[in-house]
Homo-oligomer: A and B are copies of this chain.
């Protein structure tokens, strides 16, 4: 194997249908998922029962809860499918075997993490400084193939606003455009 991606490619395809839950909080068999087709999401459910979406994962994305990193009691995030999907899953222990001694794979992985941190940095800064409207515009620009594909209420959850508010934001944008 000479690349990080190939590790995933080798795995068998698993079919998951819309609404199917792949990871539940507290569960300790944390896995990573490479999405071949469809779309997954990761999210938390707060004390009031409200979901907050951390990440979407359409085709060619990798999604996981990062708890396996911390050796904690179990996952904090939930992961489920928001469309009928095909994924390749990597169990925790297999994930570790990626971290072998091949510097080129390790460097590729570092590159992936750097990109991930950079993306999260932007997300944090936008949550700190953007209004609901600015967040939505930024989301559309950053993920042009995603915003019309996932339900509005999930985009709202990702952006940290209510569906009602986002609906109004969108209405305003249509007027001024």
A-side residues, CB < 8 A to B, are: 44, 46, 50, 52, 54, 66, 69-70, 99-103, 106-107, 109-110, 113-118, 120-121, 123-125, 127-129, 157, 160
Given A106-B106, A107-B99, A128-B160, A118-B52 contact (CB < 8 Å): no
Among B66, B100, B107, B157, the residue within 8 A (CB) of A114 is B66
A103 cross-chain contacts in B, Cβ below 8 A: 100-103, 106
Chain B minimum-CB-distance residue to A72: B118
CA distance A70 to B110 in the complex (A): 13
Looking at the assembled complex, report how far the CB atom of A2 sits from the nearest CB atom of chain B, in whole angstroms: 15
When all copies of this chain in the complex are counted, the total is 2
When chains A and B are docked, how far (Å) is the Cα of A101 from the Cα of B128?
38
Nearest chain B CB to A154 CB, angstrom units: 13
* 27 A-B residue pairings within 8 Å (CB atoms): A46-B129, A52-B125, A54-B121, A54-B124, A54-B125, A54-B128, A66-B117, A69-B117, A99-B110, A100-B103, A101-B103, A102-B103, A103-B103, A106-B106, A109-B110, A110-B110, A113-B113, A113-B114, A113-B117, A116-B117, A117-B117, A117-B120, A120-B124, A124-B124, A127-B160, A128-B157, A128-B160
Q: A70-B118, A113-B117, A127-B127 are in contact. List 18 more A-B contacts (CB 8 A).
A: A44-B125, A44-B129, A52-B128, A52-B129, A54-B121, A54-B124, A54-B128, A66-B114, A69-B118, A99-B107, A100-B103, A106-B107, A109-B110, A116-B117, A120-B124, A123-B124, A127-B160, A128-B160
